[in-house]
Amino acid sequence: MSEWSLSKLLANLHRDIQTRLETVRESYGHPGTKGAASEAVWLELLRTYLPQRYRAETAHVVDSKGNFSQQIDMVVFDRQYSPLIFHYEGQIIIPAESVYAVFEAKQSIDAGQVEYAQKKIASVRRLHRTSLPIPHAGGTYPPKPLPHIFGGLLAFESEWKPALGTALVDAFKSDEDSRLDLGCVAAHGTFACDVDGCYTITPGGKPATAFLLELIARLQASATVPMIDIRAYAQWLAD
């Protein structure tokens, strides 16, 4: 009989993330250092376990009209079909068309952090995105409709009591540009929003692993990003 256990593998993945986030919280005194270390834990999770067609980086997002997002802790983007606009000395600029999802990472979640994450996510969703017709052997497919960019918040723990109660759901209320679609509070549970804007809170379990699998499922359903009009970006070469 096999000694492998899928249940234990998935549980240990969550335990590793939670332990590392807890170690960051207890070990680092400087808020900036603590925040950067927490972000690094989540980034490594995405870089390790997302399929290779996706990349995850801290980045700014830009559109073909020259508008920039705020800096985003984690941008999940296409690297198979989309170019980077700029990559130098650790600074990455990603075209809006190639973005699948954006996440903010915090040590602890509260109303202020939710609002902060919502503003960051909205700064990406409000960017202009192009979508060209897609050539194929038999002709041309019409331009792909622009997919929803997933947004969320990742944290170690919650400042609310109870940690994932009605106060958390009330803080999520926002317009479509700012909506948090899914997230994880590693010490307490996960949350997810459906297409109708209704939230499901799942306390306990193995939150980090549950979040990862839900994100992958949503990325699968989103399929491929639209075909970018790279000439729309080339117009800026005239300046």
**Active-site pick, 57, 63, 106, 181:** 106
**How remote is the C-alpha of 10 from its chain's centroid?**
21
What sign for the dihedral angle of Cα 135, 141, 145, 147? negative
CA distances from 216 to 6, 71, 96, 100, 212 (A): 18, 23, 20, 11, 6
Task: Yes or no: say if 229 and 132 are a contact pair by the CB < 8 Å rule.
Answer: yes
Annotated catalytic residue 73: yes
**Active-site pick, 63, 73, 78, 97:** 73
Task: Yes or no: say if 62 and 94 are a contact pair by the CB < 8 Å rule.
Answer: yes
**Active-site pick, 104, 157, 181, 214:** 104
- Token pair 């193995």 is found at 206
Q: Which residues are catalytic?
A: 73, 104, 106
